[in-house]
Amino acid sequence: MQEQIMNSDCHNRPCPVETTLNIISGKWKGIILYRLLGGKKRFNELKRLMSNVTHRTLTLQLRELERDGIVKRTVYAEVPPRVEYELTTLGVSMAPIIQSMYDWGLNYQSETKS
């Protein structure tokens, strides 16, 4: 019965799960969202928190999240220019999803520890 309820929204339109995955797809988007749950961050702060991401990839992923209305980019007219990123209301609404991903990953790490 649960399966019927979950699949009922997937007829004649994109499945809601597909929509969600399209927005957060990409190796770094989930991590960006996780980091921004703690509040506004400047680009270099994000880069330091995600040391394995390239400058270009982080820029592209942030632009996509901004385009999708998940992240807000604020540019301050200062010298040197200051840019901050924060979650929009829509982005904050993804907190339970990101928290579930965090919890699942933590459980997976403990279950697969050798």
Helix (H), strand (E), coil (C) string for the chain: CHHHHHHHHHCCCCCHHHHHHHHHCCCCHHHHHHHHCCCCEEHHHHHHHCCCCCHHHHHHHHHHHHHCCCEEEEEECCCCCEEEEEECHHHHCCHHHHHHHHHHHHHHHHHCCC
Instruction: Give the pLDDT score at 7.
Output: 62
Instruction: Give the pLDDT score at 113.
Output: 82
Instruction: Give the pLDDT score at 1.
Output: 40
Instruction: Give the pLDDT score at 69.
Output: 97
**Which sign does the torsion angle of CA 85, 18, 50, 35 carry?**
positive
Q: What is the mean pLDDT of each run of 10 residues along the chain (114 residues)?
A: 57 83 91 96 96 96 97 93 95 95 94 80
Query: 24 φ, ψ to 5°?
Result: -100, 10
Instruction: Give the pLDDT score at 16.
Output: 84
Spell out the domains of the chain, with CATH numbers in brackets: 2-111 (1.10.10.10)
pTM: 0.84
In angstroms and rounded to an integer, the radius of gyration of the C-alpha atoms of the chain is: 17
**How many C-beta atoms lie closer than 10 Å to residue 87's C-beta?**
23
